[in-house]
Chains A and B, each alone.
Chain A
Amino acid sequence: MERDDLIEYSLHNHHDETTGKSIRKKILQVTILLTIITTVEVLLGAMIKQSSDAWAYVKWSFIIMTLVKAAYIVMVFMHLGDEKKALRNVILIPYGIFILYLIFIGLWEAKEVSSALRSFGF
């Protein structure tokens, strides 16, 4: 049955030229930021060797910079920051919990498997 009383949410996203201008300005700012972060990452990666003492810090800074980039892409480019709070939470919270668990279990198991293999001489 076709329903004509449903709310057409797609129509609520329109904006005028003034709002558009400020949105475009924000897009430009985010673009510059993402480019700078990527450049810094490449420079660090090319200059600091994995064998150096500073590598542990570099590695963590890579992870943090990646998360910052990801946050800007999801919140600004994908407009998740502009959606209802409920929608944002439904997307991010279950995913976050599950992935943190998976990372923990994956890396922990890797350590155990590695030491087990080594103790059996592989």
Chain B
Amino acid sequence: MAGHTTQLDAKTLWGGKESPFQTSYGKLMMWFFLVSDALTFSGLLIAYGFTRHDAQDAWPIGEETFNSMPFLGHGYPLLYVALMTFILIVSSVTMVLAVEAGHRMDRKGVTNWMIATIIGGFFFVGSQAWEWSHFIHGSEFGKIELADGSQAIVKGHFGEIKNFTVLESGKSHKVGEVMKEDLMHEFQHAAEKGHLEGGNIHFADGTVAKINKAKDHEMKLIIKKSGSQFETGGAAITGAAAEKLYYEALYSGEANRVVYGANLKQNEYGPQQYAQFFFFITGFHGFHVFSGVMINIIILLGVLAGTYHKRGHYEMVEKTGLYWHFVDLVWVFVFTFFYLI
């Protein structure tokens, strides 16, 4: 492709005409930008590695944290991220096909492949939005602080909450009333505040209600912070023992024993920095994808308007292509170091 072999005399060579790289200014600058951007991402991933190396066993494992699929629920480790990776790889392929079509001056081909790339990009950004939302809302069990001071993440199937039966009247509820709305939200809110006691839920207006809940299945506690009795890195606690420990802590009536989901102050998956790295690295990458889609749209408009065809070459498509492939490249590394290892 860069098989440019024009013979040049000394005058031309020393006149600053011949580029040693035999490539255009724009493409070269795009490469330099990508190198600097790659350094930024490497810095982030190495900082992640530093923190993780430091935290050892307490660090969450990808397959434990990311095991949900849209519409299907839990129990599909890494499948969703794999799908996201595949979407991004495919959109990278359609981009390289657009570049190839451009080299043949095939305007229709460039247009079609560019549209396919943009659709892939939107799919990826959408998937990432779902992933974030899921990460922020967290699981139904949350992370629990056990009686000995250790902290455990909880896996299994959460038994559905059927209703709350009011035992003591408050301002807005009477004895015997059966509450059926917004159960999970009320339950988790009360759990965080320590308003669950011995199987009852206490509301701010003075109402006390009994929680009618189906039994949980296959509960498993994985210790992420050592306490006086349980330590990290050991086998998971399962079955009746797990249920006893979990509900003892959840129904203790103490605030801050359970954490649901993630924010910048705390998260249910592991050390505090984990969620911060998740938000920053995948967020920064997602922002790159979003800008990439926008740039692709602008270039597509140029293709449709015939700007590049008139210019005689589709190098603008090639340059945005470089950026788009770079975004894919970064994701390959994020996928390995954030989700797999």
Contact = CB atoms under 8 A, between A and B. Distances in A.
A33 to B, nearest CB: 10
28 contacts: A9-B2, A12-B1, A12-B3, A12-B4, A14-B104, A16-B104, A38-B89, A41-B335, A45-B63, A45-B78, A45-B339, A70-B329, A70-B332, A74-B325, A76-B96, A77-B93, A77-B95, A78-B325, A82-B1, A84-B20, A84-B21, A86-B21, A87-B21, A87-B22, A87-B23, A99-B39, A106-B46, A110-B53
B315 interface: yes
Contact of B54 (A62, A76, A114): A114
Interface of B: 1-4, 6, 15, 17-24, 27-28, 31, 35, 38-39, 42-43, 46-47, 49-54, 56, 61-63, 77-79, 82, 85-86, 89-90, 92-93, 95-97, 99-101, 103-105, 233, 312-313, 315, 318, 321-322, 325-326, 328-329, 332-333, 335-336, 339-341
A83 B336 contact: no
A6 interface: yes
Nearest to A109: B50
B315 A27 contact: no
A69 B328 CA distance: 10
A7 B340 contact: no
Given A15-B103, A83-B21, A86-B21, A34 B329 contact: no
Given A13-B318, A41-B340, A107-B49, A73 B103 contact: no
A114 B118 CA distance: 44
Interface of A: 5-17, 20, 23-24, 27, 31, 34-35, 38-39, 41-42, 45-46, 50-51, 59, 62-63, 65-66, 69-70, 73-74, 76-79, 82-84, 86-87, 90-91, 94-95, 98-99, 102-103, 106-107, 109-111, 113-114, 117
Contacts of B335: 41, 66
